[in-house]
Copies of this chain bind each other. A is one copy, B any other.
Amino acid sequence: LRMYPSTYRIATIGGFIGGGSGGIGSITYGQLRDRGNLHAVRVVTMEDEPKVIELRGDDVQKINHAYGTNGIITQLEIPLGPAYPWRELIVNFDDFMTAAKFGQALGNSDGIIKKLICICAWPIPQYFAALRDYLPQEKHSALLIIAEPSLEPFKELVREYGGNISYEKSAEEANKGVAIAEFTWNHTTLHARSVDPSLTYLQTALPPDPNMELLEHLYRHFGDEVMMHLEFSRTNGKVVPLALQIVRYRSEERLNEIISYHEKRGAIIFNPHTYILEDGGMKTVNVEQLEFKKQVDPYGLLNPGKMRGYFEDK
């Protein structure tokens, strides 16, 4: 698969297309919504007489990331990626901004084949119990998946940034023990919350910022209240960090204050604290998805209350 979610052990591929936007592999292939990452979908309609519809080409966007509100996905046609022997690695840095810049540089290194670049500021690594032996105190960690033929140039880059490799798992051993992917993306939050349920999280797109000045500002400003977790992925052809910060929850008011502090500085928060489609990532009503819902789900039975455009329209 070109990309998969950190929940791949329990996820279904239909659920991933319905609810996901990217994941492990996005550092190479971009987002699920990008042309070429989803070729076709078969959906069954929620009508008196159900119909089977095949959507191809740009029409797949009618159901992509629509959370199952507008048709039951029964078949998908997705392209695959080349199968490299993938190595899992952890690299530690003394300084968070060096780790972040290393992540960006690795993302920009087109000659190095990679699948995952996850950067966790200390103290996030302390929540990863199963990897504890490889995560030194007070260090900022990069969790990485790199194609084995690219290891030699990868290690030159690690040397340039003064990183220290503490963990290497070869492709041969990949099926045994812990999978590094399960400590990244939304699993990072899951592990933190399994240790401390008072924690919550945010999803943040940072504006273009080649020197990472805003990132540094946010990292220093909030300290351990908003712990920095970055996932690098390609967006419109550029490698950019998506922040999935882990937040020490104090109150709804304080959470909204944190969100607005980000938004005032140009960072876009995809609020994960709502079950309504448009209030989270999308912000606006997707007219194409709304029209498709009216067509295939005339009684509004699929995931009711999820699509604001639909119930406000009613």
Contacts and interface: CB of A to CB of B under 8 A. Distances in A.
A170 interface: no
Contacts of A110: 28-31, 34, 36, 234, 237
Nearest to A2: B111
A152 interface: yes
Chain A interface size, under 10 / 10 to 19 / 20 to 34 / 35 or more = 35 or more
A190 interface: no
A109 B35 contact: yes
Contacts of A149: 79
Interface stretch (A47-55, A127-135, A153-161, A282-290): A153-161
A107 interface: yes
B107 A36 contact: no
A108 interface: yes
A236 B104 CA distance: 10
A148 to B, nearest CB: 11
22 contacts: A29-B111, A30-B109, A30-B111, A34-B109, A34-B110, A35-B111, A35-B153, A36-B110, A36-B112, A36-B113, A36-B150, A56-B152, A57-B153, A57-B155, A57-B156, A58-B156, A79-B149, A79-B150, A108-B236, A108-B238, A237-B238, A237-B239
